[in-house]
Structure 1
Amino acid sequence: MSETVAMSETLSAVSEPLAQTSFPASLRDAHPGTAPRFRDRIGADLGGGYYPVAHRYHLYLSLGCPGSMRISITLGLLGLKKSVRTTLLPSPPGACDALAALRTAYETTRHRYDGPPTVPALCDLWSGRVVNNHTPDILDDLALRFTDQDNADLPRLRPAALAADIDAIRRLLGEGPAPDPALDFLERQLASHPYALGETLTAADVDLWVALVHLDTDALRRVAAGDRLWSYVRRLGAHPAFHGYPCTEGIAERTEGKREHSGEDLCSSEKDKDRAGDQSRVTVPADQDCRHQAMAC
């Protein structure tokens, strides 16, 4: 118990100065305003409007978006990919127009909605409405509402005893590149534990790992120079739930300098456009913009 309290105090201490820096003004000016949030939650039982049941919900995700990547990894870890439908935007050639379906869901949820159809978005197939488009809410509901907490074969991504620490790490990561305090904290933790918050994998590891693989090449090389962090990146990357994402391809080449580096983020949406076609019609909220160098959801 004392270790958990000390950890929370450490996270609080290092996260305070981060709030002073937050987003550079130039980036804030480049993305005026934030898309509207829809933040209904999944209830614990049938008494709520939205309750957990297989095949009722539909997730819209996007290539290059760190928030979408965190959600997709979480689905894999919890064995939910067959019970929660997922659509990746933009749609492949010849497929139905998923973007039009997503826009319809937004318009059904809010009369005369004229904002962008943002991703990630959790939609209810029964009512045709958007339930939630706030990444942390979606992650928490997947971990707590859709998963049998008594199933020993599944990871407990958000155990009650560590919930405050998981939230503190999310605040620490904030908006933009993974900050040095977060990396320093992880480096210290990995000196005596295999995972960010102890002996078992949690949502904090998903958040931190996605932040790490979205670093630009120069920053990732600095991570690779440290044995603990680099071993952590590679170890989680070998797990099936973390493996196979476009932006994780060639991480070794990036750290070893085998690719020419122009200072851009190789996990950005600009790179993913080449793989998946035009994404200009798919919008990620300002605090989830995939052009940033790290997770910001």
Structure 2
Amino acid sequence: MAEFPEETKDGEFERQEDAFRMMVGKEGGPLAVDGRYHLYVSLACPWAHRTLIVRSLLGLQDSIGISIADPVRDERGWAFREGHGHHPDEAEGFHFLGEAYLRSDPRFRGRYTVPVLWDRQEKCIVNNSEDDICRMFQESFAGPGARDLFPLHLAEEQAEISDYLYEKVNNGVYRAGFATTQAAYEEAVRDLFVALDEMAVRLERSTFLLGEHLVESDLRLFCTLIRFDMVYHGHFKCNLRRVVDCPPLLRFMRDVYLQPGVAATVNFDHIKRHYYGTHRELNPSGIIPLGPAAVFEKPGCGERDAGSR
């Protein structure tokens, strides 16, 4: 997630490329060893959230520790503090995520983004790409019998829909929210809702995007939908429709949320405090809205601490 929004000369939002792309358990990469790696996340960030869900679905909580950043970020970047469902960094004692980046590469001059997979043995960042981290959790860390979030027979279709979701939905809300021209904003919003309508049509035919079994592509859509009515609809001006008004998307969002281990990774308080409290160029007052209420069965669901180790 961006520390500061980037834009092109046409007023469009453009995301920074990931800088660290080493693959654990692959040729030339470090070995996959329980306890050696640590995941730095923000519960507010949809990109980091996906890695946290994959870690939970694959049962890797005891293999890979986590540190949760304070949701309110300032010019110093993501910070580790105590309180409100997050904790000091117990792996390296970092006060700011930037310390991990600069320890890994003192010449690094980009933004300090989450997620980060940290090597506790070599004291460096292994990878800061959520796509790579999810794939490594499946292929290098998951044990026999773990659910398969990247089934081989769906590989081509899954790659295609994942790329589409990234461009039009996951990054689409940011392209709308951080656009600085009317044309760039309108293009992003139209693309976003065309894509959401296409996903709704798919979900009228099957439980998940690619059939009756949940795969990693579903988590890409879920991590945007779970934030949509609460943040993107108003804060990012993606307000043509709400998820709650689209039965297929709402049903899908609930089905993913109720998968064992997923609800505990969702923290609506962190989500709202980050977006409304950090993006002062969009919300100068910093006021955090009280609503909307979550649309799940149990009041308060998702407010639990995802940081249990």
The two structures share one fold, judged by TM-score above 0.5: yes
The answer to whether the Cα contact below 8 Å between 2:25 and 2:31 also exists between their aligned partners in 1 is yes
Higher relative contact order (CA 8 A, sep 6+): 1
The answer to whether the Cα contact below 8 Å between 1:36 and 1:115 also exists between their aligned partners in 2 is no
Moved over 6 A (4+): none
Structure 2 unaligned regions, length at least 5: 1-6, 71-79, 174-190, 279-309
- Residue 199 of structure 1 corresponds to 212
Q: Secondary structure at the match of 2:121?
A: coil
Distance 1:248 1:202 in 2: 27
Summarize the Cα distance change of 1:160–1:209 in structure 2 as closer, same or farther, 3 Å threshold.
Answer: same
- Residue 38 of structure 1 corresponds to 20
Q: What amino acid does structure 2 have at the position aligned with 1:54?
A: D
Alignment of 1:19-168 (within 5 A): 25-28=10-13, 34=16, 37-44=19-26, 48-90=28-70, 91-93=80-82, 95=88, 98-100=93-95, 102-148=97-143, 150-151=144-145, 154-168=146-160
The answer to whether the Cα contact below 8 Å between 1:77 and 1:241 also exists between their aligned partners in 2 is yes
Structure 1 unaligned regions, length at least 5: 1-21, 250-265, 274-297
Q: Which protein is richer in helix relative to its size? A: 1
Distance 2:131 2:42 in 1: 16
The answer to whether the Cα contact below 8 Å between 2:41 and 2:66 also exists between their aligned partners in 1 is yes
Please list the CA deviations of residues 138-174 of structure 1 after superposition, one character each: whole Å capped at 9, or x if unmatched: 11111222113x41xx321011222222222232121
Distance 1:158 1:68 in 2: 18
Q: CA deviation at 1:55?
A: 0.7
Summarize the Cα distance change of 1:66–1:267 in structure 2 as closer, same or farther, 3 Å threshold.
Answer: farther
Q: CA deviation at 1:224?
A: 2.1
The answer to whether the Cα contact below 8 Å between 1:64 and 1:272 also exists between their aligned partners in 2 is no
Which of 147, 163, 187 does residue 200 from structure 2 map onto? Answer: 187
TM-score, with structure 2 as normaliser: 0.64
Summarize the Cα distance change of 1:181–1:167 in structure 2 as closer, same or farther, 3 Å threshold.
Answer: farther
Summarize the Cα distance change of 1:58–1:193 in structure 2 as closer, same or farther, 3 Å threshold.
Answer: same
Q: What amino acid does structure 2 have at the position aligned with 1:37?
A: A
- Residue 279 of structure 1 corresponds to none
Q: Secondary structure at the match of 1:26?
A: coil
Summarize the Cα distance change of 1:135–1:179 in structure 2 as closer, same or farther, 3 Å threshold.
Answer: same
Summarize the Cα distance change of 1:158–1:268 in structure 2 as closer, same or farther, 3 Å threshold.
Answer: farther
The answer to whether the Cα contact below 8 Å between 2:257 and 2:263 also exists between their aligned partners in 1 is yes
- Cα RMSD after superposing both structures: 3.2
How many positions carry a matched residue from both structures? 229
- Residue 172 of structure 2 corresponds to 176
Which of 200, 217, 242 does residue 222 from structure 1 map onto? Answer: 242
Q: Could you tell which deviates more after superposition, 47-56 or 58-67?
A: 47-56
Distance 1:82 1:230 in 2: 32
Q: What amino acid does structure 2 have at the position aligned with 1:209?
A: F
